[in-house]
Amino acid sequence: MAPTYDVSVNYNSAITPGKGLKIGVLALQGDVREHLKALADCGATAVSVRRPSELAAVDGLIIPGGESTTMDKLSRIFGLREPLRERIQAGLPVYGSCAGMILLANEIADPATDLAGNPQQTLGGLDVTVRRNAFGRQVDSFETELDFTALAPAGQAETPMHAVFIRAPWVERVGAGVQVLASVKLPEAGQNDRIDFEVRAVAVRSRHLLATSFHPEVTGERRIHELFIRMIRGEA
């Protein structure tokens, strides 16, 4: 059985945007537990997804941060790659964080290659080009305040979001129908020679797909998860 989180633990019962929803976190590798906790804090039934049968039972899915190449390989081993692609194409709401953004992208500017020289594959669905580890190595990780479009529910004021970037990708190209929700102005983002004076997109959305370069699950920030829940409900 896939584990679920008890939403009565460390949870404010007055705030239940996710009540009645079953939302999965792809549990092949990465920040699985942190996203499960974030979903539970929002009132959703949060479950790990490792099998096609578990994927078929969720209202939405989060692909967490981690190693995109490892997730790609494990998705094949667990028989999840094609079911994931099919559900994404069929309109399943999916949120990808960091490595999850890479896996949702249609194109990678600098894909990793296997021993035979074959470039890594993505699940696709999001018409963007991303660059892996774009902000630099682990030592170049940074935190910043972001202006995030359409984050607050209707009628509420938008406020900046504190974002943590860890070996993060950025978006170099957005296709038609892709909305940029947040960007980082460079070189304020970091202090390495890969950064120039351009602005890079770090949060994007296209219909039922949402992706961020950063990790809201590690800071206790819940507004991204709440936005994703509104997307699942058709309220955003």
The reported pLDDT for the residue numbered 196 is: 46
**Among 94, 62, 63, which residue's Cα sits nearest to residue 207?**
94
The answer to whether 15 and 43 have CB atoms below 8 angstroms apart is: yes
The mean pLDDT value of the chain amounts to 84
**Among 34, 56, 98, which residue's Cα sits nearest to residue 46?**
34
The reported pLDDT for the residue numbered 15 is: 57
**Average pLDDT for 201-217:** 93
Q: Which residue has the higher pLDDT, 195 or 17?
A: 17
Q: Quickly state the pLDDT bin for 79 (edges 50, 70, 90).
A: very high
Active site residues: 98, 215, 217
Q: How many CB atoms lie within 10 A of CB 127?
A: 17
The reported pLDDT for the residue numbered 186 is: 59
pLDDT in tens, 142-192: 788 888 888 877 778 788 888 888 878 889 889 989 999 998 875 544 444
Return all residues near 162 (Cβ < 8 A) that are at least 6 apart: 143, 144, 145, 146, 219, 221
User: Residues 110-118: contacts with CB within 8 Å, 24+ apart?
Assistant: 112/68, 112/69
161 vs 203: CA distance, rounded Å: 12
pLDDT in tens, 90-116: 999 999 999 999 999 999 988 888 778
The reported pLDDT for the residue numbered 4 is: 41
In three-state secondary structure terms, 228 is helix
Helix ranges (DSSP H) in 157-198: none
pLDDT score of 45 more than 70: yes
**Average pLDDT for 61-70:** 92
Q: Which amino acid is at 5?
A: Y
Task: Please list the residues that pair with 47 across neighbouring strands.
Answer: 4, 24
Q: Which residue has the higher pLDDT, 15 or 194?
A: 15
**Average pLDDT for 116-125:** 87
Q: What tokens were used for 220?
A: 């206790």
Q: How many CB atoms lie within 10 A of CB 56?
A: 12
Q: Which amino acid is at 82?
A: E
Task: Please list the residues that pair with 128 across neighbouring strands.
Answer: 174
pTM confidence score: 0.86
Q: Quickly state the pLDDT bin for 129 (edges 50, 70, 90).
A: very high
Q: Which of 67-76, 185-194, 217-226 has the lowest mean pLDDT?
A: 185-194
The reported pLDDT for the residue numbered 143 is: 80
